[in-house]
Structure 1
Amino acid sequence: MTLSRTEDWTLQAKCRGMQDKLFPEGVDQKRARLVCMGCPVRSECLAEALDNRIEWGVWGGMTERERRQLLRQRTDIRSWQTVLCGPRKER
């Protein structure tokens, strides 16, 4: 069985196994973002949330409010994966 690209990066995430802690409300979101600092797959995580319009939680160091603002400001971007991580390489 082959892992998809999404599963590949999630296995390297610094937050692996901490899902509940990454979906806080209000002020606690800023604390949750600290987990993302220094994560080796932060860009992939953020691209996943932006490309799929994920509305909840902290992804790639950004809260849902920050991601919504970025999406409103950059309506010209069709693939955040390409912008943040470069083109996908075929295996």
Structure 2
Amino acid sequence: MSWDDNWSASAACRNTSDELFVKGAEQNRAKQVCGRCVVKAECLAEALDNRIEWGVWGGMTERERRALLRRRPNVTTWRSVLQVAV
């Protein structure tokens, strides 16, 4: 599988407005959009590499991303990690 550098054009959420930038239980519904997305890994790498603090990105909430960043503080580029996982 190849990595899509222009991932946002293929994102399942590309035509949504603010539904991925919600709080609480609404985040679980937002994550469902990511479940069917073909560029989920690219999106998540973008959020992790840039330390984006708000919204659901790549199927993870900001809390989940912070926890992942704490567990793997030495990762300098998440693309390399997630590209292997895809």
Q: Percent identity?
A: 59
- Superposed CA deviations along residues 44-90 of structure 1, whole A, max 9, x for unmatched, are 0000000000000000000000000000010121100111125xxxx
Equivalent residue runs for 1:29-40 within 5 Å: 29-40=27-38
The answer for unaligned runs of 5 or more in structure 2 is none
What CA distance in whole angstroms lies between the structure 2 residues aligned with 1:9 and 1:58? Answer: 16
Q: TM-score, normalised by structure 1?
A: 0.84
2:16 alignment counterpart: 18
| Larger relative contact order (Cα-Cα within 8 Å, sequence gap ≥ 6) | 2
Stretches of structure 1 lacking an aligned partner (at least 5 in a row): 87-91
Q: Could you say what secondary structure the match of 1:19 adopts?
A: coil
Alignment counterpart, residue 41 of structure 1, candidates 11, 31, 39: 39
Q: CA deviation at 1:19?
A: 3.4
**Structure-2 residue corresponding to 1:79:** 77
Alignment-derived partner of residue 53 in structure 1:
51
Length, aligned pairs only: 80
What TM-score do you get using the length of structure 2 for normalisation?
Answer: 0.88
User: The residue matched to 1:66 in structure 2 has which SS?
Assistant: helix
- Change in Cα spacing, 1:35 to 1:73, as seen in structure 2 (3 Å) is same
